[in-house]
A and B are shown apart, each in its own frame.
Chain A
Amino acid sequence: MAHPSLAHIRDRMPSVNTLVVACALLLGRGAWAAEVAFVTTQSDDSVSVVALGEDRLAATLKLGGKPAGVAASPDGRHVYITSPEGGYVSVLGTRPPALLRRIALKGGPLGIAAHPDGGRLYVADWYGSRVFVVDAASGDILDELPTGLSPSGVAVSPDGTLLATADRDSDQVSLFSTVDHRLIGTVGTGKRPFGLGFTPDGRRLMSADVGSNTVTVIDLASRSVLGSVPVGDRPYALTVTGGRAFVTNQYAGTVSVLDLQSLKVIATIETGEYPEGIAASADGRHVYVANWFDNTLSCIDTASLRVTGRVRTGDGPRAFGAFIADVPEAAAH
């Protein structure tokens, strides 16, 4: 298993100049070559495409409109990226990475999530207190659901029945039925919830509360708050894998690792300056973090809870959403 250059790589960490993802080497190239990160780089109006089985930036696509939010389709064939200033969603093919078309939306489309069946997209309008329901194939707007103020993070439950928005300036999450688009209810969170994540069992929803430096843990059956867990300074987004939540703390430059049983922080990992978007590999062995100021994508090994690799991206990576696509080997263009 020992790669001849691994010690050398570790010695040089955390230099970004090495451009090496050590964890990709540890995994071997074959098995996970299909996982590809689509990292929105807002400052240069692009998306950095990083093949997580390789040690380089695979492609850069210019999208315009200050791209921010991202959602990979469940089948890995498409990636949807919001441009809040441009007022559109870019539809990308993943193999090869290419811009296919744009879906125009009013307001400032920011947070985005794809339904697990791949049919629908849910896009929050940061300026409009609403979420758009969009047909992923045709780009048609099927519905507009009113939310609280400044909806940011959007998530769909693993079973596809629930849609959640983090209504940042209303200090709440809104829960909708994906079947009839009915508002099921709202639940108060900490201050300024931004990123959202369901637990894989679909029983809980968690929000990263930018304004109160907490993660709110919501029980969905009772729609009540199970806990408010203090994390680092200015928590932005989170991902849940292996019984733990990984939370980016923008101002602290760290990721807090929260145990879902005890609702306690069990580790704090230094990643880079302004960590933002965060997503886990399908097998849960790695978590990837976009560092906005550093222009890097860090790889955290979820067993050792250490940063094991780093790749340089374009300028200002945000990657807000499910930015890792599990691209099928023989996907059609």
Chain B
Amino acid sequence: MIIRTKHFMLLAACGVVASTAAAHGPARLKVEHSVDIQAPAEKVWARIANFHDMSWHPAIASTQGSGGNVPDATRLLTLKGGDGKATIEEALSKYSAEHMSYMYKIAKVDVAVLPVTNYAATITVTSTGPSSSKVEWRGGFYRGYPNNDPPANLNDDAAIKAVTGIYQSGLDALKAEMEKGGR
């Protein structure tokens, strides 16, 4: 019990460090990833349009949220693995059903879960034909370590690699699901 409490406090302390808007690294980083899907844009958008349902992404165990699909709505993503402790709190910044696009930012994440700070991203579906579409995911963020001379696990490369992995696995899974069966 004592150990658990200590562990919790340590996690909480890490959370505070990561969530305060302390000085960030010297360079903002960007990742862009897109996938072409053989399915109509409307169908693909319908799968990802609910900010409070990220079940289309294979790394996400559950999504809890409130506030609908309007700016300032929040969601708590719990990642698979990590005994339910690996979470990311996110907030919706912009949402357009018309343009099949939304922008969100990370409100709180431990850099041990995702080695980034000041993260924001946009995901957009565009139609490329009657039965084909393109999904684009674009993120801007700083590395996990706020000062110069970062350790290897919190440097620019680590941040880019982690975000690229999320985008790639998510869009690959979305493509596979959308192109399966054709329903």
Residues of A within 8 A of B (CB): 42-43, 66, 68, 84-85, 87, 107-108, 110, 126-127, 149-150, 168-169, 191-192, 210-211, 233, 251-252, 273-274, 292-293, 316, 318
Contacts and interface: CB of A to CB of B under 8 A. Distances in A.
A168 B22 CA distance: 9
Q: What secondary structure prevails in chain A residues at the interface with B?
A: loop
B28 A316 contact: yes
Contacts of A84: 26-27, 148
A126 B23 contact: yes
Given A149-B23, A274-B140, 10 more contacts: A43-B27, A43-B30, A66-B27, A108-B147, A126-B26, A127-B147, A191-B21, A251-B93, A251-B105, A251-B120
A87 B148 contact: yes
Interface in B64-106: 93-94, 103, 105
A211 B93 CA distance: 14
Interface string B10-29: 00000000000111011111
Contacts of B23: 126-127, 149-150, 168-169
Given A43-B27, A293-B138, A316-B30, A85 B93 contact: no
A150 B23 CA distance: 6
Contacts of A210: 21
A292 B93 contact: no
A85 B28 CA distance: 12
A210 B29 CA distance: 18
B21 A85 contact: no
Contacts of A273: 122, 138
Contacts of B26: 66, 68, 84-85, 108, 110, 126
29 contacts: A42-B28, A43-B30, A68-B26, A84-B27, A85-B148, A87-B148, A108-B26, A108-B148, A126-B23, A126-B26, A127-B147, A127-B148, A149-B23, A150-B23, A168-B21, A168-B23, A169-B21, A169-B22, A169-B23, A191-B21, A192-B21, A251-B93, A251-B94, A251-B103, A251-B105, A251-B120, A292-B28, A292-B30, A316-B27
